[in-house]
Amino acid sequence: MADVARRASVSPATVSRVLNGRDSVGAAYRRRVLEAVEELSYRPNRLAQNLRRQRTATIGVVVSDIENPHFSEMVRAVEDRAYRQGYRVLVCNTDESPEKQRAYLQTLVEERVVGVVLTTSDPVGREISELLDRGIPLVAFDREVADARADAVIAENVGAARSAVELLVGGGHQRIAFVSGRKDVETGAERLDGYQLAMRAHGLEPEVVEGRFRTDSARAAVAQLMAETDRPTALIVGNNLMTLGALAAVQDAGITVPHHLALVAFDDPSWAALVDPPLTTLAQPVRRMATEAMELLLERISGARTEPRRTVHPFVLRKRTSCGTG
């Protein structure tokens, strides 16, 4: 930069002003500087800028597991929007571990990221507030955080679970079991709640097995369920990974869907229409939600908004064949 200043016969301050365009600079000076920049093919040192400004052009995305298609879709949408805005994105996998999340959030504040999208594995973590204290905007994705200053983009899990129950009840089912995700995770708890509420509303007894959001756990749980002599006639599965396990268990048991067992699954992975029979799913508008999360974040970053905002997104029921009705 000193070289540029020398070559243009101006001070470094003027070079900086020209390049940042914040302060007004005389036309002749501007031209001289731009020429010198061009001739020396000068690129400002990002690290120095970061230090001086005490922030980076980086956005942190914290999810439990980017390998879960749900989150890869989300990260993809976030990255798209970030790129268009000139931001980089740092991905952080927590594996639902509050410990790992703590470490990562700490890293993100040290790294002076300009904003964070977080699917929390620990809603009450102190680091969330620390982030906000330091003026780093945060938007909660899928799962709320305790700090009221954060924005949130949430899916209507309770309603979705209810609509699944309604669908199956409408199809004549009485024994509808639910393969539950982790109850200590908001998404899991809400879907379970919605299921139980809807069942009780119909005077039906909830039957819950634990799938912990994992393929193998769900497979074991459903295998056990299918081995019962008097087994449920319908199954609602709490997310896409568990659906893989549930389907495997059902196949192993030689049970035909939807004839012997109706199935409705949360999430709408790419392969949902290809299995036999095509899966009736509750599709969360992940891409739209992620894009919205980024909009909220960008509004905060630019200072265009200071009041927290929270948006709730309904699922869409994709009726295919596995539910056996309509």
201 binds DNA (CB under 7 A): no
Q: Which of 38, 39, 45, 228 binds DNA (CB under 7 A)?
A: 45
Helices 215-227/240-252 angle, 10° precision: 40
As a whole number of angstroms, the distance between CA 85 and CA 308 comes to 22
Nearer to its own copies, 199 or 294 (CB): 294
Please, which residues bridge with residue 61 across strands? 91, 117
Q: Give the CA count within 13 Å in the CB-facing half-sphere of 63.
A: 20
Q: How far is the CB of 9 from its own copies (least distance, A)?
A: 27
324 binds its own copies (CB under 8 A): no
Q: How far is the CB of 247 from its own copies (least distance, A)?
A: 5
Q: Radius of gyration over alpha carbons of the chain, in Å?
A: 25
Q: Dihedral sign, CA of 45, 47, 48, 54? A: positive
The encoded tokens of residue 1 equal: 């930069």
Q: Are 128 and 160 in contact (CB under 8 A)?
A: no
Nearer to DNA, 2 or 274 (CB): 2
Q: Which of 7, 34, 40, 44 binds DNA (CB under 7 A)?
A: 44
Considering all CA atoms of the chain, what is the largest pairwise distance in Å, rounded to the nearest integer? Answer: 89
Q: How far is the CB of 79 from its own copies (least distance, A)?
A: 6
259 binds its own copies (CB under 8 A): no
Binding to its own copies (CB under 8 A): which residues in 228-247? Answer: 241, 244, 247
With CB under 7 A, what is the number of residues at the site for DNA? Answer: 30
- 222 conformational bin, left if phi > 0, alpha if psi -120 to 50, beta if neither: alpha
> Which candidate, 130, 131, 103, places its Cα nearest to that of 117?
131
Binding partner at 80 among its own copies, DNA, none, C-beta below 5 to 8 Å by kind: its own copies
The contact set with its own copies (CB under 8 A) reads 43, 45-48, 50-51, 54, 56, 58, 65-67, 69, 72-73, 75-76, 79-80, 83, 88-93, 100, 107, 110-112, 215, 241, 244, 247-248, 251, 269-271, 273-276
Binding region for DNA (CB under 7 A)? 1-2, 9-17, 19-20, 22-26, 28-29, 42, 44-45, 47-49, 51-54
